[in-house]
C-alpha cells in the first residue's frame, strides 16, 4: 500500500472539494439571479449568515443540546427494551412462539407509518419524539440480539452444562458474551435509525 505525501493529500482533498464547492457556487448564482426562486431554496450566503447568527446568539447550541438529549433518551430506552425482548425470544422457544408473530408483523410497518398513531397516543410534545426515536431503535437491537443469542454455538452450551450452570448463569456467562458482536451491530443500526 502506497503512503501519500503531504502534497498529495492536499491535492486529493482539493479534488474532493471541487464538486461540492461548484454546486454551492451554482446554487448561489441561480438563486441570486432568480433562476431558482429564493422562496423555494434559500441562497447559500443567507444560510451561512443565519448559521453565524444562531451560533453567536447561543440558540444553535441550546437546540443541539435538546436534540442530543432527546436522541439519547430514545436510543437508550428503545435499545434496552430491544435487548431484553431479543434476549428472551432468543433464549426461549416458548417465548418466541408467543412474541415472534406479533414482533415480526409489527416490524414490517415502516417507521414513518407509526407517526399518526403515536401522535394520537402521545400528542406532538416531547413524549412523542422520544417514543418515536425509541421505536426506531427497538427493532434493530431486538432482531440482532435475537439472532446473536440464537446463533450461540452448541459447543458453548454443552460446556455450560458440563460446569452445571443454571439458566441465569448460562445466559449471563455464556450466551450474552457470545452474542455481543451481533448485539453491537444492532446498536450501530439503532443509532443510525435514531438519528
Question: pLDDT 10s per residue in the chain (195 long)?
Answer: 456 677 888 888 888 888 999 999 999 898 888 888 878 888 888 889 999 999 999 899 999 999 999 999 999 999 999 999 998 898 888 988 998 889 888 888 888 898 999 999 988 888 999 999 999 999 999 999 999 988 888 888 888 888 888 888 888 888 888 889 999 999 999 999 898
Q: Is residue 132 part of a domain?
A: yes
pLDDT attached to residue 187: 93
Set of cell numbers at residue 6: 503531504
Q: In the Cβ-directed half-sphere of 111, how many Cα atoms lie within 13 Å?
A: 15
The C-alpha atoms of residue 189 and residue 195 are separated, in whole angstroms, by: 10
Residues 99 and 179 in one domain: yes
Nearest to 60 by CA among 69, 50, 70: 50
Rounded to whole angstroms, what are the CA distances from 47 to 18, 27, 29, 76, 149? Answer: 20, 12, 14, 33, 48
Q: Find the length of the chain.
A: 195
pLDDT attached to residue 39: 80
pLDDT attached to residue 4: 62
Query: Could you tell me how far CA 7 lies from the centroid of its own chain?
Result: 37
Residues 131 and 110 in one domain: yes
Q: Is residue 1 part of a domain?
A: no
Q: Which domain holds residue 31?
A: 6-57
Residues 31 and 76 in one domain: no
- Count how many domains the chain has: 2
pLDDT attached to residue 140: 94
Provide the whole-model pTM.
0.76
pLDDT attached to residue 163: 85
Question: What is the DSSP code (8-state) at residue 175?
Answer: I
Residues 169 and 118 in one domain: yes
Set of cell numbers at residue 145: 440480539
**Residues in contact with 191: Cβ distance below 8 Å, sequence separation at least 6, in sequence order:** 75, 137
Residues 134 and 93 in one domain: yes
Residues 73 and 28 in one domain: no
Q: Kindly give the residue spans of alpha helices, DSSP state H, lying in 1-108.
A: 6-32, 44-57, 59-91, 93-107
Residues 74 and 48 in one domain: no
Q: Is residue 165 part of a domain?
A: yes
Amino acid at each position: 500500500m502506497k503512503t501519500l505525501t503531504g502534497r498529495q493529500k492536499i491535492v486529493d482533498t482539493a479534488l474532493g472539494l471541487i464538486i461540492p464547492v461548484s454546486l454551492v457556487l451554482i446554487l448561489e448564482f441561480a438563486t441570486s439571479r432568480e433562476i431558482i426562486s429564493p422562496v423555494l431554496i434559500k441562497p447559500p450566503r443567507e444560510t451561512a449568515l443565519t448559521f453565524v447568527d444562531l451560533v453567536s446568539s447561543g440558540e444553535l447550541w441550546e437546540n443541539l443540546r435538546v436534540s442530543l438529549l432527546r436522541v439519547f433518551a430514545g436510543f437508550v430506552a428503545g435499545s434496552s427494551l430491544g435487548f431484553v425482548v431479543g434476549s428472551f425470544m432468543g433464549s426461549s422457544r416458548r417465548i418466541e412462539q408467543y412474541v415472534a408473530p406479533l414482533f415480526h408483523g409489527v416490524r414490517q410497518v415502516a417507521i414513518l407509518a407509526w407517526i399518526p398513531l403515536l401522535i394520537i397516543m402521545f400528542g406532538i410534545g416531547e413524549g412523542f419524539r422520544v417514543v418515536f426515536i425509541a421505536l426506531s431503535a427497538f427493532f434493530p437491537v431486538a432482531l440482532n440480539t435475537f439472532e446473536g443469542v440464537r446463533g450461540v454455538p452448541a459447543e458453548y452450551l454443552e460446556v455450560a452444562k458440563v460446569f452445571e450452570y443454571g439458566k441465569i448463569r448460562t445466559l449471563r456467562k455464556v450466551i450474552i458474551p457470545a452474542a455481543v458482536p451481533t448485539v453491537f451491530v444492532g446498536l450501530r443500526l439503532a443509532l443510525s435509525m435514531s438519528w
